[in-house]
Structure 1
């Protein structure tokens, strides 16, 4: 299994070049629009993003870079025709590196360097064990290796049982999960399905929901189970961001 990289707005020619240069360590997934990228980032874990700022300019969505940090903390490499003019603002918007799209080999080198820092230096050195990699869905960030959770940027302390429950929900977003599935897969239980779910879910809601009595993230599907719905307000708003890079 390889690490996953998402590209946003790259031309077919540039994507093909990057794919050939990065094939050894990275599986590149293309997205042609920010809407496609948001959907992929909600549903999958990516370890690197490569974004063409000229595409974002063309659709008046340069501010998408700042919004994407609500969804992913993966390193972002921005390709620009004028990196010497764009670097300062692009970094302020949340990206890590800005480089000319003409320097293909250098882009590949920087991609490997950023990937190494995000994975090996963060103790995610074995891509076959991607289950330990930190990831974010909507407003919620979770780091399985360090047992850390944050909601809307605020740290949340969970007990092991609730942490395992949230992790299982986040690995299965938008899917209705039965009590039996939750007990088996979140906690390794083989019995007691009817008694082991409702209270931990109540406790988890108390920690992560803005209004636990009207849950936003963990919905009850009566007669079937529960469903985790990532709250990604930024995806509804990003198409309306119009500020351009100067």
Structure 2
């Protein structure tokens, strides 16, 4: 039974989440402030964290940063009323695995939680993905290329992991949006192209090939 940490200071929402997750076979624990959230996330080994941003005693962004600095790789789904692009990117770049805004449909949140837990299970005991001189450490979330270590943002890590799990396969923008950002539609932005360019800057211009009209491929 997966253990879910709910970090939410609105009692009505936390109670709704707790009951819904328990009814679907999870073991939820609720905390209502940043300090308690960090203590639980770092010390008690949860399988996933549902994290609000607007919290007393340390906001969610600070909790997330502290978790990742402590090398806690527990999946984090941010659930917040903040819906600006800047807030979304801050959460994802800070190490969140997914981002949902309130009001929300519980069924969608449940699907995203299950997806992130399945992703974690698929990693299993595998700790490194490698293709030629390019390697990705799944524990430290760092890449190595040509003997040098490369630090990645959370979303760059997930994107590179997807490419390394499908070497030689052309991945469409729609596939990437679905797997990396959780979108089941194209929001009309160039976010995939932006992140591919970022990986090329860090890993080398030839590391990812553009297949015109189709998508991207590694190598």
TM-score by length of 2: 0.50
Cα drift, residue 71 of structure 1: 4.6
Distance 2:12 2:95 in 1: 26
Unpaired stretches in structure 1, ≥5 consecutive residues: 124-144, 156-246
Change in Cα spacing, 1:21 to 1:95, as seen in structure 2 (3 Å) is same
Q: 5 Å matches for 1:35-184? A: 35-55=35-55, 59=58, 62-69=61-68, 70-85=70-85, 86-105=87-106, 106-119=108-121, 121-123=122-124, 145=125, 153=140
Structure 2 match to 1:30:
30
Question: 1:39-64: per-residue Cα shift (whole Å, max 9, x none)?
Answer: 223332111011111226x8456333
The number of residues matched between the two structures is 129
TM-score (ref. length: structure 1): 0.45
Which structure has the greater CA radius of gyration?
1
Residue 84 of structure 1 deviates from its aligned partner by 4.0
After TM superposition, the structure 1 = structure 2 runs for residues 177-216 of structure 1, keeping only pairs within 5 Å, are none
Q: Extract unaligned runs of 5+ from structure 2.
A: 129-136, 143-219
Q: Secondary structure at the residue paired with 2:41? A: helix
RMSD over aligned CA atoms reads 2.9
1:123-157 C-alpha deviation (Å, 9 max, x unpaired): 3xxxxxxxxxxxxxxxxxxxxx4589x9x9599xx
Pairwise CA distance, 1:15: 1.5
